[in-house]
Amino acid sequence: MIEWYKKVVFENYANFNGRARRSEYWFYTLANLIIAIALMIIDNVAGLAFENIGYGPLYTLYSLAVLIPGLAVAVRRLHDVNKSGWFLLIALVPLIGVIWLLVLFLTEGTKGSNEYGEDPKNTLESINEIGQVENN
């Protein structure tokens, strides 16, 4: 899980090209959730949280720092199911949009190549190929 998180956040910070496997997306999401909850707890225990909203500066800074990598891995995940990154905007449709996007994130990626690159499951060293697209 930590390897996936490091790959997404540090090595593919703003890489919107290529494809992301389900495991890359969901391990990143799980690690992100754990870190965010821990930072919210620290903010609240230390008395740093803003009274009206419950979030503090640690959580806010972290959320801003991982906004771009989160968008990038979501776009690459959509590429894996052969959808454009603009499809993220479907989440703006109340209730149905979020459910549809969740289904896409849970769907197995397109087998073989698609217009966004090679199948990331085909490589033996898939952890080294996260988010990269082959240029032919």
pLDDT score of 127: 53
Distance CA(37)–CA(57), nearest Å, equals 13
- Number of domains comprising the chain: 1
Q: CA angle, corner 122, sides to 100 and 15, nearest 5?
A: 60
Domain with 41, as residue range(s), is 2-122
- Position 60 in a domain: yes
- Position 36 in a domain: yes
Name the pLDDT band for 135 (thresholds 50, 70, 90). low
Distance CA(112)–CA(35), nearest Å, equals 34
Per-residue pLDDT tens over the stretch 51-72: 766 688 889 999 999 999 999 9
pTM: 0.79
- Position 49 in a domain: yes
Q: CA angle, corner 23, sides to 60 and 94, nearest 5?
A: 55
- Position 45 in a domain: yes
- Position 134 in a domain: no
Rg (CA), the chain: 16
Per-residue pLDDT tens over the stretch 108-124: 988 888 888 888 877 55
Name the pLDDT band for 131 (thresholds 50, 70, 90). low
Per-residue pLDDT tens over the stretch 66-103: 999 999 999 999 999 999 999 999 999 999 999 999 99
Per-residue pLDDT tens over the stretch 2-11: 777 777 677 8
- Position 131 in a domain: no
- Position 15 in a domain: yes
- Position 130 in a domain: no
pLDDT score of 2: 73
Quick one: tokens of 17? 């090209």
